[in-house]
Amino acid sequence: MLILTPYCLAQSPGEIVGTTFIDNLYFNTGTNRIAQDTEGGLHVCWTKKTDLDSLSVFYNYRSPEGDWQYSNEGNRISVVDGAWCCNLDLGPDDCLTVFYQRGSFLLNSEYNNLGEQWITWGWDSGWPKGAHNQSSGRFHLLFFDYWNTDQIYGSSSDGLSWPDWQSTNSQFNNFWAISTSNISQRTAIILSISDNLAYNLSEDGITWDFENSIRITDIDTSDNQTLEMAYSDLLFDNDDNLNIVFNTYSTPYPATSTLWHWSEESNEITQIAQFGPFISGRPLVGPNLGVDSDNNLFCVWTGFNPEDESSGFNPNGDLYMSYSADGGGSWSDYQNITNSQTPGCLPGDCDSDDYSSLAETVDEHLHILYINDKYAGFTPPSTENQMLYLAVPNPLYVGITETESLPVSMKVLSNFPNPFNAQTTISFSLEHQSAVNISIYDITGRLVEMLTSNTYEAGSHSLTWNATEHPSGIYFARLAADKFVNASRMVLLK
């Protein structure tokens, strides 16, 4: 496993999963292309385009031990050519389903289980987005009929037969998506209603009221500074509350992109990040949501820097991350997690990181699949690009396992509160008098502050660290006493 550390970044980081000559992955925003099963294994899928313009859907699997089943190439799972626009989900008993499109028809492929099941809807229909509910085992599928009605259609199935497709009464836009709960049968979609973001929620995944979708935003498109939806994602957290992230961008240019979070629990919208202004293009795209066992939320997206453009004047992308420990009420300062600028790069030499997919399950790490586009932008020439897997340490993971080798005479307690804002208390206990040194380090290993270097009597002690002058992020309190050294992870949120 490659674990990201901020002091060893050079080229785009990650483990090679496969390759493709395609860069935009055909409107795969708001879809899952990586998922973690209950054993800790990772499943990934992507659209592979060869230099001969052949399109296929590929799959790879990473074992809990870190071995890729199909090395760094992947395995083709689509039977015929022309398969693309894939996404996947895990149902009951880690049953894997890959949803994708072949030509202009929809295809639902349950890999290594039922084989392939064709779902046909007219002609020129596609861009499927699917989900597989772990409680009911039902499949849910959305697709866009861009030839007949310019509408988004949906259906729910037991996988053996598909009922009639229902119109969601929504406009086409890049931000329609679907998600289903991991602890109930709740299923939700996000869609466009009158140029605004809306959602529709079914408690059982079967009964829908598409006549009464609920608008989240209230954007006036007649304003000269128009806000228009670009991309979005949705997720049910561990309390079964729906969370939605989406970004808006202002026009006319220069454009500013803003990333937002909406919570079903609070019914409030909170800003996560803002990029821009840009002379052309969108400065921020493709947000993805994840959640850990403590119900902390994580968002990963692509951001662009106007000072990091290719020779073709297309901006190179980097992946960014922010997190929330309070259900989305506030978000941390965002961090660049790939940091691979290549300004002025020629085709084949760029490191433009884009089209990320974050696994919904976050543990000690955020598990991310993304494309390393060797020529930024959608225009030719085509280049062979790497599909990369990246594990980023969870900045809110505070579980510290004490080994049997720790001396019973001394114990470093977790700082409290953690996460904290401005001040936190670090506690430790001594069985006998000892010389104690406690230092604070940031995530790069740089010494931030010497908290104490004194002799302490036996007993319990506590010190307060005032971090008012320091930015949000991950810090470590390192205690050294006699021959014993230990450290505690701390998260500063402002």
Same structural domain for residues 382 and 438? no
pLDDT band at 7; cut points 50, 70, 90:
very low
pLDDT band at 244; cut points 50, 70, 90:
very high
Distance CA 341, CA 354 (A): 13
Q: Which residue has the higher pLDDT, 252 or 268?
A: 268
Q: Which residue has the higher pLDDT, 212 or 489?
A: 212
| CATH code where residue 115 lies | 2.130.10.10
> Ranked by mean pLDDT, which of 111-115, 429-433, 468-472 comes out on top?
468-472
What per-residue confidence (pLDDT) applies to 419?
Answer: 87
Question: Is the confidence at residue 123, as pLDDT, over 80?
Answer: no
Q: Please check whether residue 150 is in contact with residue 143, taking contact to mean a CB–CB distance below 8 angstroms.
A: no
For the stretch 194-210, pLDDT in tens is 778 899 999 999 899 98
Same structural domain for residues 94 and 57? yes
| CA-based nearest residue to 439, from 447, 427, 431 | 447
Question: Is the confidence at residue 137, as pLDDT, over 70?
Answer: yes
Tokens of 338: 């790939």
Residue where one domain finishes, among candidates 344, 366, 393: 393
| CA-based nearest residue to 209, from 218, 222, 217, 200 | 200
Question: Is the confidence at residue 120, as pLDDT, over 70?
Answer: no
For the stretch 327-357, pLDDT in tens is 999 998 898 888 888 888 887 888 889 889 9
Look at residue 105 and tell me if it is in a domain: yes
Look at residue 401 and tell me if it is in a domain: no
Q: Please check whether residue 443 is in contact with residue 474, taking contact to mean a CB–CB distance below 8 angstroms.
A: yes
Look at residue 47 and tell me if it is in a domain: yes
Same structural domain for residues 354 and 431? no
Give the domain extent around 474: 410-492
Look at residue 398 and tell me if it is in a domain: no
Look at residue 452 and tell me if it is in a domain: yes
Same structural domain for residues 15 and 138? yes
Question: Is the confidence at residue 380, as pLDDT, over 80?
Answer: no
| CATH code where residue 437 lies | 2.60.40.2550
Paired residues of 454 in beta bridges: 436
Same structural domain for residues 281 and 153? yes
Other CB atoms closer than 10 Å to residue 386's CB: what's the count?
19
Same structural domain for residues 163 and 311? yes
Average pLDDT, the chain: 80
Report how far apart the first and last C-alpha atoms of the chain are (Å, whole number): 31
Same structural domain for residues 425 and 328? no
Same structural domain for residues 389 and 415? no
For the stretch 435-465, pLDDT in tens is 888 888 877 667 788 888 888 888 888 999 9
pLDDT band at 374; cut points 50, 70, 90:
confident
Count of domains for the chain:
2
For the stretch 148-203, pLDDT in tens is 555 667 777 776 666 677 778 776 665 678 999 999 999 999 888 877 889 999 99
Question: Is the confidence at residue 84, as pLDDT, over 60?
Answer: yes
Question: Is the confidence at residue 10, as pLDDT, over 50?
Answer: no
Look at residue 400 and tell me if it is in a domain: no
What per-residue confidence (pLDDT) applies to 476?
Answer: 82
Same structural domain for residues 115 and 222? yes
Look at residue 403 and tell me if it is in a domain: no
Question: Is the confidence at residue 113, as pLDDT, over 70?
Answer: no
